[in-house]
């Protein structure tokens, strides 16, 4: 599958990727020689039956998990060449990830959850971009509330907003907000 846009820019790419869990009789080959490209600036849905490897693919493409063999690229960076620290910095700067369970911190408000990755990086959001994304997901009235007990849709919005918390995202975002796996540039 080739996914480059008209300018040939690819947000993420897997080349001959395999991911094997476990050993011996318990071994599971979740990905088996997969090659796929995801273009910048597009929404892409990855669909398949439960257990077909969608989550594994998202984790590997986002640099949250290492592949057993093959190569994963985010933009022009080959993830296999990076140390854990370099991978952490790349995820912080270039990847927005909406976890299926959101992974919001219950002791922080929505605004604090949104700002957390930037705060860790010692940065502040670009005000116009922050406002634009907050309003796009309708979260402004809830910015001071904590996510605990929030309806699913509201938690999802905070997760979505957090995944786009920085200045304009450079790369696409892995998204599971609808219980399916997709890869897109959010705004």
Ligand X SMILES: Nc1ncnc2c1ncn2[C@@H]1O[C@H](COP(=O)(O)OP(=O)(O)O)[C@@H](O)[C@H]1O
Residues that bind ligand X (CB under 6 A): 21-22, 28, 30, 48, 50-56
State which residue, 4 or 64, has the beta carbon closest to ligand X: 64
Residues in the chain: 187
Residue 169 binds which of Mg ion, ligand X, none (CB < 5-8 A, kind-dependent)? none
Q: Which residue minimizes CB distance to Mg ion?
A: 55
Per-residue exposure over 108-122, b if at least 16 CB sit within 10 Å of its own CB, e if not: bbbbbbbbebbeeee
State which residue, 19 or 154, has the beta carbon closest to ligand X: 19
Radius of gyration for the chain, computed over Cα atoms and rounded to the nearest angstrom: 17
Residue 43 binds which of ligand X, Mg ion, none (CB < 5-8 A, kind-dependent)? none
State which residue, 23 or 84, has the beta carbon closest to ligand X: 23
Three-state DSSP class for 61? helix
Residue 48 binds which of Mg ion, ligand X, none (CB < 5-8 A, kind-dependent)? ligand X
CB of 69 to ligand X, least distance (A): 16
State which residue, 22 or 122, has the beta carbon closest to ligand X: 22
State which residue, 50 or 83, has the beta carbon closest to ligand X: 50
CB of 15 to ligand X, least distance (A): 19
Q: Does 158 bind Mg ion (CB under 5 A)?
A: no
In 84-173, which ranges are continuous DSSP H helix?
84-94, 110-120, 127-136, 152-163
Q: What angle do CA 82, 175, 43 make, to 5 degrees?
A: 100
Nearest-angstrom CA–CA distance, 37 and 11: 8
Residues 36-75, mask of contacts with Mg ion (x by CB under 5 A): ------------------xx--------------------
Strand ordering across the sheet containing 69-74:
28-39, 10-21, 69-74, 77-78
């Amino acid at each position: 599958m080739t996914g480059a846009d008209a300018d040939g820019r690819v947000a993420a790419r897997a080349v001959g990727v395999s991911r094997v869990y476990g050993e011996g009789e318990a071994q599971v080959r979740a990905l088996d020689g997969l090659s796929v490209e995801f273009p910048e600036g597009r929404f892409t849905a990855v669909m398949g039956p439960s257990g077909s490897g969608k989550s594994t693919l998202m984790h590997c493409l986002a640099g949250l998990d290492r592949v057993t063999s093959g190569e994963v690229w985010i933009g022009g960076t080959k993830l296999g060449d990076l140390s854990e620290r370099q991978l952490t910095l790349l995820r912080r700067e270039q990847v927005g990830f909406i976890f299926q369970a959101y992974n919001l911190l219950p002791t922080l408000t929505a605004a604090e959850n949104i700002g957390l990755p930037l705060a860790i990086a010692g940065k502040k959001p670009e005000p116009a971009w922050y406002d634009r994304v907050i309003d796009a997901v309708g979260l402004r009235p809830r910015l001071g509330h904590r996510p605990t007990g929030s309806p699913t849709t509201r938690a999802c919005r905070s997760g979505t907003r957090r995944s786009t918390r920085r200045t304009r995202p450079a790369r696409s975002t892995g998204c599971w907000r609808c219980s399916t796996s997709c890869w897109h540039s959010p705004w």
